[in-house]
Amino acid sequence: MSEANKAIVRRFYKEVMSQGNMNLLDEIMAPDFKDHGETLFGSPQGRDTSSRVLPPLARCLAISMCNCMM
């Protein structure tokens, strides 16, 4: 994974998941983003779905960053 991509992932967890900054999704996600992974809310999902689903989820989770990306 490139350093630029690692920085985006770190920003996502720090600013979106830990701080609740959903406005960042517009900056880091493509308008046609689709999540094709396993999710709690069905798949695929778009950016609009993420901005509605992530705030209550982020409030329930305690996210801490570790240096686990190679």
Within a domain: residue 55? yes
pLDDT > 90 in the chain, percent: 7
At 37-61, the pLDDT tens digits run: 665 555 556 766 676 767 766 666 6
Within a domain: residue 68? no
Within a domain: residue 37? yes
How many domains does the chain fold into? 1
Within a domain: residue 69? no
The band of 4, judged by pLDDT with boundaries at 50, 70 and 90, is: very high
The gap between the terminal CA atoms of the chain, to the nearest Å, is 8
Tell me the residue range of the domain where 28 lies: 3-60
Give CA–CA dist 24/69, Å, rounded.
21
Two tokens, residue 36: 């094709």
At 10-43, the pLDDT tens digits run: 898 888 888 888 888 889 888 887 776 665 555 5
Specify whether the CB–CB gap between 41 and 1 falls below 8 A: no
Within a domain: residue 70? no
- Residue 45's DSSP bridge partners are 35
